[in-house]
Amino acid sequence: MVIVIQCADKVGLVANIAGLLREQELNIVSMREHVDTIQNRFFARIQITKTVDAAILEAQLKAVLPEDAQVTATPNPLKKIVVLVTKEYHCLTDILIRNHFNTLGASMFCVVGNHPTLQDICRRFDMPFHLVSHEGITKEAFENELYKTVSSYNADYIVLAKFMRILSPAFVEKYPLRLINIHHSFLPAFIGANPYKQAYERGVKLIGATAHFVTNQLDEGPIIAQQIISVNHSFTTADMVKAGKEIETAVLAKALQLVFDNKVIIHENKTIVFE
């Protein structure tokens, strides 16, 4: 069972938490904590051996913590996910393979695409694929149909695996901090479309990828994971795209594992990641 806590910092928090768990005869397997001294904020991730009633444990912990404490106790079931795609296959294929071999750390329910391009690869993995086309209809009608399809699965997270459509604030609000996107750039550089073309024209020596939660501000949601690789003057835009696909796949996989393992705490527009 995993317990995640964030609250105002004060002397004795760790002792209070440990003391309560000892009283309940709950053995701590691991405990990671971080204090933001600027904002006077305490964050912790605790793993215990026994699974108990989550609501009761949360209430008990809140009683020994500051009034603003946010406490989540999770019995560690597999998270449920739906994956959104367009035409690019690299991130989706990696997720499908991990799901097939039970190393994803989540239960993948289906793939939803706004083009039929990736339907065949999903069929090969016996993964349900739903086509929700955006063509010939308004954005509102498209998102209504998308929401109807996605919501039927009651997923914990929606993974945007190269889903090349900007979602409206109305749609994002339906899944607050539950939409995870892989952006083909080392944010905050090169926001928006064609980042590799932007990078090539700028003559950069590093390119990267960023996995982040989606908010109403384009590509500015809380960052989960990032990675960079070196490039040089010999790289064309096509070379950068090829190298970028590899790093996008790796960064998204890492971010998903961190989220599924309850190792990411969100505070305002930042994340605390207990790797």
pLDDT range class, residue 242, cuts 50, 70, 90:
confident
Cα–Cα distance measured from residue 154 to residue 175, given in angstroms and rounded to the nearest whole number: 11
At residue 162, the 3 state secondary structure works out as coil
* Region of residue 126 (phi > 0: left; psi between -120 and 50: alpha; otherwise: beta): left
CA within 13 Å, CB half, 226: 15
Q: Tell me the average pLDDT across 219-234.
A: 87
More confident residue, 239 or 203: 239
Domains present along the chain, CATH in parentheses: 2-74 (3.30.70.260), 79-273 (3.40.50.170)
For residue 267, pLDDT beyond 70: yes
Q: Tell me the average pLDDT across 74-102.
A: 95
Instruction: Look at residue 105 in the predicted model and tell me its pLDDT.
Output: 93
β-strand 106-113 against 2-8: which pairing, if any? unpaired
Cα–Cα distance measured from residue 154 to residue 161, given in angstroms and rounded to the nearest whole number: 18
**DSSP labels, 214-225:** --SSTT-SPEEE
* Catalytic residue of the set 68, 219, 239, 261: 219
More confident residue, 209 or 130: 130
pLDDT range class, residue 193, cuts 50, 70, 90:
low
Instruction: Look at residue 196 in the predicted model and tell me its pLDDT.
Output: 62
Least reliable range by pLDDT among 24-38, 63-77, 198-212, 243-257: 198-212
94 is catalytic: no
Q: For residue 252, which amino acid is it?
A: L
In this prediction the pTM is 0.89
Cα–Cα distance measured from residue 172 to residue 165, given in angstroms and rounded to the nearest whole number: 12
Average pLDDT, the chain: 92
Percentage of the chain exceeding pLDDT 70: 94
Q: Tell me the average pLDDT across 173-192.
A: 80
Q: Tell me the average pLDDT across 161-168.
A: 94
Q: Tell me the average pLDDT across 157-182.
A: 96
Cis peptide before 188 (omega within 30 of 0): yes
The residues, any chain, with a CB within 8 Å of residue 106's CB and separated by 6 or more, are 78, 79, 80, 81, 99, 156, 157, 256, 260
For residue 81, pLDDT beyond 80: yes
The per-residue pLDDT for range 107-142, each reduced to its tens digit, is: 999 999 999 999 999 999 999 999 999 999 999 999
